[in-house]
Amino acid sequence: MELDNDGVPVWSRYNQKPAYLPEIEELNSSIEIIPRLALAHEPQSPYYAALCTMSQLNSQIGGYPSWVQDPTYPLCPCCEQRMRFIGQIDYADFDEYAEGIFYMFVCPKDNITATIYQQS
Ligand SMILES: [Zn+2]
């Protein structure tokens, strides 16, 4: 995705919308209310997820990704630099039968975002 001047994500010129996805209007009318994530009362160390002895299954903002598989920092398609980690979402926070983690990245210079999904 790319962020416009207001920070609103739009399809990136480097990406193509898969044909199986519904139109935005259809999607907006069919969205179910999903559980909202909340910030923890106590912040955790930015290194929390990087410790192999800690749980990998946590949604978080900032810090370091807790990779389920090998680390995969995407390259920005504009400047070809590694993108910065923003946060991760545990799929199980939205679907009790789901597994895996979505990792989110941004290139602040080019306003490009990327998402990677990994599962065990
Ligand atoms: Zn870039």
- Taking the domains of the chain in order of start, what are their residue ranges? 1-120
What is the whole-number distance in angstroms between the Cα of residue 4 and the centre of ligand 1? Answer: 14
Residue 30: the pLDDT is 62
Is 2's pLDDT higher than 70?
A: yes
- pLDDT for 101 equals 92
Calculate mean pLDDT across residues 23-50.
69
Closest to 9 in 3D by CA, of 100, 89, 104, 79: 104
Per the CB < 8 A criterion, the answer to whether 108 and 78 are in contact is no
Distance from the CA of 112 to the center of ligand 1, in angstroms? 7
Give distance in angstroms: CA of 98 to centre of ligand 1: 32
CA torsion angle 79 83 84 88 (round to 10): 150
Ligand 1 centroid–CA 94 distance in Å is 30
Half-sphere exposure of residue 94: CA atoms within 13 angstroms, side-chain side: 13
What's the pTM? 0.78
